[in-house]
Structure 1
Amino acid sequence: MKKQWRILFQILLYNLVLAACVEYDAKPFTGKTLPRTTGYSTGVTQDWLYFNLRTGEQFNTQAPNYDIPEGEQKERKDWDLAFCGYRLRTNSGTSGIGMGGAADLGYGNYNHWTHVYQLPQNLEWSIDNDSEVYVTMSQNDWNKHLIDNNLDFEKNPWFDPNKGPANTLASANPVLANAMYFAGPPPVYSPSLHTYVVRTADGKRYFKLQLISWYNADIEIGDGGGRISYYCDELSQ
């Protein structure tokens, strides 16, 4: 019996020493994270955070529609990119009067793209429209919809076990809608890890973009869904 205990003790001691020698070489996240959670969870369906990539200025960081109410963004050129949950806008098409847009540069290879001259001449640019991309409705807005249309609450729940939460069309970029996929229930948000290029509202500058996570990547165990983590850097001219 003593021999058995001695062997068990030696195995335990070996495992402890081995564990002490293991080094975890996890690279810290060096990208960006949205300044707050966006989307339906804030109680507002069209909850967009706007960014001027040229100046670094941010809009609606304090509250939904605080600086740029929904609809007013269409007549402004001081923003280039916007987030609502996992959907994105560019200052183009139905979202704005700018010369923005986005294009897909393919899976991965984020660090490969450094200069504008690398962009393919036949690159297909996508501008925003209001007929392809859906955003999740807030429960408050869904309830208002039911009341306005005299619909039964029990027959029309906000969350359908087979379809998930209610959604509605939004003005957004259809190419950037592929940057992250939703599946569920239960809800799962998976980044495509494609690299995209975003053209600014003045049509003169270009930024590469890659979504990394539905959660704040600076937190070890993310619990702030809708606070997207991403990389975004300008391409040299």
Structure 2
Amino acid sequence: MKKHLSFILAALLLIGTVGCDDDDDDAGSATTESESATMLIDATSYSHWVYFSFETGDSVQISDPKTSDEWDLAFMRYYLRTNSGSSGNALGGIYNAGKVELSSVTEAPESGYVVDDSISVVDHSTYTYTNIAASSELAGWMSFDTESMPPEPIYSDSIYVVKTGQGKYAKIHLKDYYGGDGTTSAMIEFDYVFQPDGSQTFTE
């Protein structure tokens, strides 16, 4: 009788242990909550890029942007780079989700990310056009109404999904070229949501 009772208790303990393991597995597979913030980037230089990392949530110093995977976006005036193509050798790229609400983009797409190539810009030292490595897809985030004086910015209000240098995902809304005091140009303000666990799901 005692042996029979011991066997029953051992079986119940085993069932309970298996149940706990299943719960732990379910908890471990849950998607990590996304990180969100509003950033202000001082991109006022005409010659130096400012590099930004979603992992740190801040600008970062990068010694060799072509080989580093520790940056995701770069800013110089209203030009932008992703860590891809002509700008970097990492896993980055950009996807234009269109003119939608930031909250409506709940999944990063599997494919369709555009890597950097080159765009034509004005060299302010010579006032001639030159080509630089940058994102042609992100070049459309804003333009200027040259019929107004001073020229007024026109924002596309598109939402972009960023594939980061390390192959993770973020979504951004580039919303203001005068995001500091409202008068200084190239103070880029943007909202972002970053998924740190590498999944394609944005949880807010």
Structure 1-normalised TM-score?
A: 0.60
SS at match of 2:66: helix
What corresponds to 1:54 in structure 2? Answer: 55
State the superposition RMSD in angstroms. Answer: 2.2
* Structure 2 residue corresponding to 1:38, chosen from 44, 52, 57: 44
Q: Taking structure 1 as reference, are residues 233 and 172 closer, same or farther at Cα in structure 2, changes over 3 Å only?
A: same
Q: Superposition pairs for residues 93-172 of structure 1, below 5 Å?
A: 93-114=85-106, 118-121=107-110, 123-130=111-118, 133-138=119-124, 141-142=125-126, 158=127, 166-172=128-134
Higher strand share: 2
- Using the aligned pairs only, state the percent identity: 31
Q: Residue 109 of structure 1: CA displacement? A: 1.4
What corresponds to 1:26 in structure 2? Answer: none
| 8 A Cα contact 1:38 1:48, kept in partner | no
| 8 A Cα contact 1:107 1:193, kept in partner | yes
Distance in 2, Cα, partners of 1:228 & 1:167: 23
* Structure 2 residue 173 is the aligned partner of structure 1 residue 210: yes
What is the one-letter code of the residue matched to 2:142? M
| 8 A Cα contact 1:39 1:136, kept in partner | no
| 8 A Cα contact 2:123 2:130, kept in partner | yes
Q: Residue 184 of structure 1: CA displacement? A: 2.0
Runs of 5+ unmatched residues, structure 2: 1-36, 200-204
SS at match of 2:187: coil
Structure 1 segments (4+ residues) deviating >3 Å: none
| 8 A Cα contact 1:113 1:235, kept in partner | no
Runs of 5+ unmatched residues, structure 1: 1-29, 60-66, 143-157, 159-165
Structure 2-normalised TM-score?
A: 0.69
